[in-house]
Chain A
Amino acid sequence: MRNWRWGLIGIVFLAFVIRTEAWKFSKAQHEHTERISGSAGDVLEDDPVGRLKVFVYELPSKYNKKILQKDPRCLTHMFAAEIYMHRFLLSSPVRTLNPEEADWFYTPVYTTCDLTPNGLPLPFKSPRMMRSAIQLISSNWPYWNRTEGADHFFIVPHDFGACFHYQEEKAIERGILPLLQRATLVQTFGQRNHVCLKDGSITIPPYAPPQKMQAHLIPPNTPRSIFVYFRGLFYDVGNDPEGGYYARGARASVWENFKDNPLFDISTEHPTTYYEDMQRAIFCLCPLGWAPWSPRLVEAVIFGCIPVIIADDIVLPFADAIPWEEIGVFVAEKDVPKLDTILTSIPTEVILRKQRLLANPSMKQAMLFPQPAQSRDAFHQILNGLARKLPHDRSTFLKPGEKILNWTAGPVGDLKPW
């Protein structure tokens, strides 16, 4: 009888303690930030070390180091993720030197490093380079043939991923390189129902230089006084003189509808205070350009500006780990003329919640590629994504003698050696 009473008192005490803890926890929610959990759960803060093993192929330096030496601009442009991922993996604890125990295989080939004098990458030789690399690894190691690449991953950060072209029609025509049909692609491009995004790809943010952005931070109590901010082209007169092709007319529509609206600070000028201005803005437009993704998304997230994404069917980076609908505002391209109505009709609570989510440091970390790598940054999110795909299902491993890939498929030009 007495024990029962003591037990009751103990339960009541425990309930009281739990309630105060919960109250304290919910009070913490009303501070600056809020926890982020996407469709895969609360995975932004996972640590991939110990959950997977990656084997890095040793390719001759003509596939990576020599290309980089020829043009060191590859380290600073927005496709630099492929280079930094290689460096990260070489010294990461997930790397294993024993390929037998590896879950994933990485091929360090820098396909986006053939730059024009202006700095834009030319994709014309990339398919041949990739083919050549795959031929090398399939002949020197047995692991490619074992699975025909199903447990290999490649980083293809270019405009349309593994379609290896900057023009969308051409990219669609080419499709994903046939040899990469079974591999996992880690790419910046993401658009639903598009040829160049295959199932199971991991979408990553474009590379943005972290030190440059940290250098331009302003005190967080600077009041946000710009309503909508955008800097960039609206018409691409060089490549699209008639208009209507660039950004599917969406950027031009933004300009024509809102050029005299005082709430919209939009222009083509690139000021030196670009980063500071983003920190003084509430909404930052991230419309599509020639490709749907842009570094503006990364910049908006780092600077706490709510991204307004104008790109139909886009797949945003780490879409299973980050609940983008709760963080950004999605506007259909046909709704661009109503953009001001849409933005002003968002309830204040929703806006404040989005800002709290953006203020979460793990959100900002996940978008960056810092050197040296820090925990929870984009490198780790890629590894988390790869870890979530484990264990490999049975279709990964082929029976001996079984062949799925067609090594002669694709345009004739691709078959030439590199």
Chain B
Amino acid sequence: MKLTALQQQSRRSNSFRGSSPLDSSMDGAIKSPVTIFWLVLHGLCCLISLVLGFRFSRLVFFLLFSNTSNTMTSNNLYSTSSFGNPSEPLAFQSTLGAVTSTSTSLPAMNLTTAAASGTSSSRVVVGRHGILIRPWPHPNPAEVMMAHRLIERVQREQRMQYGVKNPRAVIAITPTYVRTFQTLHLTGVMHSLMNVPYDLVWIVVEAGAVTNETASLLAKSGLTTIHVEYGKKMPILWEDRHKLEAKMRLHALRLVREKKLDGIVIFADDSNMLSMELFDEIQNVNQFGAVSVGILAHSGGDGEDETAVVQKEEEKNSGLPVQGPACNSSNHLVGWQTFNSATFMERSARYVGDRAIVLPRKMEWAGFVLNSRLVWRDAEDKPDWVRDLDEVAADEEDVESPLSFVKDASVVEPLGSCGRKVMIWWLRVEARADSKFPAGWVINPPLDVTVPAKRTPWPDAPPELPLPAGEMAVVLQENAEKHATKTRSTRKRRSKRKHATRTIDERVSTRHAGEN
């Protein structure tokens, strides 16, 4: 015991912080039985520690001397570092009194608060302290929630101080129609709009009639929505579709005028991607602003030859796939940047559901934001460079972009650090023309079995079990009302099975079930 204590002292004094005087008696190699015994014991302890992985002597000492343990530990806490030196605990207790001797009488002590001189002894004890760990050092979920609420409140305060002052409402206009990808696209836009921290009005214009599908989607959002219909059905050709969408947007603008909605109008097409910074940025618009739109034109590309050729074209093109305002060095609007789609023209899609690339028009509606007062019938401070809504609609058969509303394009305000920041992406992806999808993406009646569930789902593998296919067919039979012909055929199958060999029949029956 003493040997280990002495060795610890010597180790401590060898380190940078060592201050204790070395006991020189350690140096002599005294070969008495006692020292040999202690050496052997020490070696044994070392071996055990190696095996265990920690210095268990500390634990032993802690347990042995826990009755004299220091006052640092309170009832709910335990201290990890126990004392290697048995005389330490005594010293701890003594330092709590005002010991004013200037020399350290205890040997090999690193606790020298005893040396604190004359004036009031410090309440803070110098020397070794226990490391206090609470019994269950893991996060408390209630506190984590409180912390998150705090963080939220701090961030709200930050937004109030450094963010947009007097935020205006946002009016989002989305033309849509029921098709396979409608849920995909509308859900994306919906979730983006749900995260906008400002007041929002969402005007959804549906081509054809107002459908329950769209209405049920919109109901999930919890946003203020105005769901209107636009008489005509959506055409198949992309050209016509672009034109109809423009007309739908004008219809929505008429709605804004009628209801005198106040705010900032943005055109959130249902397949576009909007970033949250966009909504913060458009708060800066005064009357009519433009943002840069990233064009994701390589959608629906197929086949390796296609992509290889497209890549070569891209290198030749070297224009950025961005549409938006272009500024000079003093951040004044000097022109427009647009996506050079000439190289893709031959290969572009013509009808909705075509597998080729869908190209944008010269300037998409999505890249413009306007103050809703510009479309009001009689606003007091309406600038004179804006044309009336009805006038524009009557003038042009096809309003390609909101730039038609302004007589002079130089009044457009470039946003997003003068068009350098792209915060909105344009994409047109639709399902293949021959795709079918269940109404509302709810599968009713349930699907036919293509592969029975009780074995690995690879149709090539030979079926092991004869009956499950037949059983499955029976279950289906009960549910299916429409498929009268199928039930008749399955009944036939079942009777056939009795005669022919198993495997052939199974394959036949599964194939037939799959076809139906």
Interface residues of A (CB under 8 A from B): 31-32, 167-170, 172-173, 175, 191-195, 219-221, 223-225, 227, 238-245, 248-250, 252-253, 256-258, 260-263, 282, 312-313, 333-334, 336-338, 340-341, 343-346, 348, 351-352, 355
Contacts and interface: CB of A to CB of B under 8 A. Distances in A.
Contacts of A221: 158-159, 162-163
Nearest to A173: B115
A238 B158 CA distance: 42
A316 B341 CA distance: 66
B151 interface: yes
A336 B132 contact: yes
Contacts of B161: 31-32, 220
A227 B123 contact: no
A282 to B, nearest CB: 6
A169 B126 contact: yes
B129 interface: yes
A351 B154 contact: yes
Interface in B120-149: 120-134, 137-140, 143-144, 146-147, 149
A352 B119 CA distance: 41
Given A195-B116, A282-B154, A345-B146, A337 B134 contact: yes
Given A241-B15, A344-B143, A223 B131 contact: no
Given A32-B161, A253-B132, A169 B151 contact: no
Given A243-B80, A348-B150, 17 more contacts: A170-B19, A192-B122, A219-B162, A221-B158, A244-B128, A244-B129, A244-B131, A245-B17, A248-B124, A256-B133, A262-B139, A262-B144, A282-B151, A337-B132, A340-B140, A351-B150, A352-B157
Contacts of B140: 340-341
Contacts of B19: 167, 169-170
A313 B124 contact: yes
B150 A227 contact: yes
Contact of A175 (B110, B117, B120, B125): B117
B121 A193 contact: yes
Contacts, number: 157
Nearest to B132: A253
Contacts of A252: 80, 131
Contacts of B115: 169, 172-173
Contacts of B122: 191-195, 313
A320 B119 CA distance: 23
A44 B154 CA distance: 27
10 contacts: A191-B124, A192-B122, A195-B116, A220-B162, A221-B159, A224-B151, A238-B16, A257-B134, A262-B144, A344-B143
Contacts of B334: none
A195 B133 contact: no
Contacts of A223: 155, 158-159
A117 to B, nearest CB: 14
B106 to A, nearest CB: 13
A172 B132 contact: no
Interface of B: 15-17, 19, 72, 74, 77, 80-81, 84, 102, 110-113, 115-117, 119-134, 137-140, 143-144, 146-147, 149-151, 153-155, 157-159, 161-163
Nearest to A352: B157
A195 B143 contact: no
What are the 3 closest A-B residue pairs judged by CB atoms, nearest first?
Answer: A221-B162, A337-B134, A249-B129
Contacts of A224: 151, 154-155, 158
Given A242-B84, A257-B134, A344 B154 contact: no
Contacts of A313: 122-124
Contacts of B74: 334
A256 B157 CA distance: 33
B45 to A, nearest CB: 17
B360 to A, nearest CB: 32
Contacts of A348: 149-150, 153
Contacts of A245: 17, 110, 127-129
A225 B154 CA distance: 9
Given A32-B161, A256-B131, A313-B123, A225 B155 contact: yes
Nearest to A219: B162
B210 to A, nearest CB: 40
B131 A312 contact: no
A172 B112 contact: yes
A315 B146 CA distance: 31
Contact of B154 (A248, A257, A355): A355
A223 B16 CA distance: 44
A312 B143 contact: no
User: Among the interface residues A224, A263, A282, A313, which one has the most CB atoms of the partner chain B within 10 A?
Assistant: A263
Contacts of A195: 116-117, 119, 122
A244 B158 contact: no
Contacts of A244: 81, 128-131
Contact of A337 (B17, B129, B137, B162): B137
A227 B131 contact: no
B147 A344 contact: yes
B154 A340 contact: no
A313 B146 CA distance: 29
Contact of A256 (B17, B102, B137): B137
Contacts of A175: 117
A338 B124 CA distance: 20
Contacts of B121: 193
B143 A167 contact: no
Nearest to B145: A344
A32 B161 CA distance: 7
B16 A340 contact: no
Contacts of B81: 242-244, 249
A337 B77 contact: yes
A341 B143 contact: yes
Q: Which residue, of A224, A249, A262, has the highest number of chain B Cβ atoms within 10 A?
A: A249
Contacts of A334: 72, 74, 132
Contact of B139 (A260, A336, A343): A260
Contacts of B128: 242, 244-245
A334 B130 CA distance: 10
A352 B77 CA distance: 33
Contacts of B153: 348, 351-352
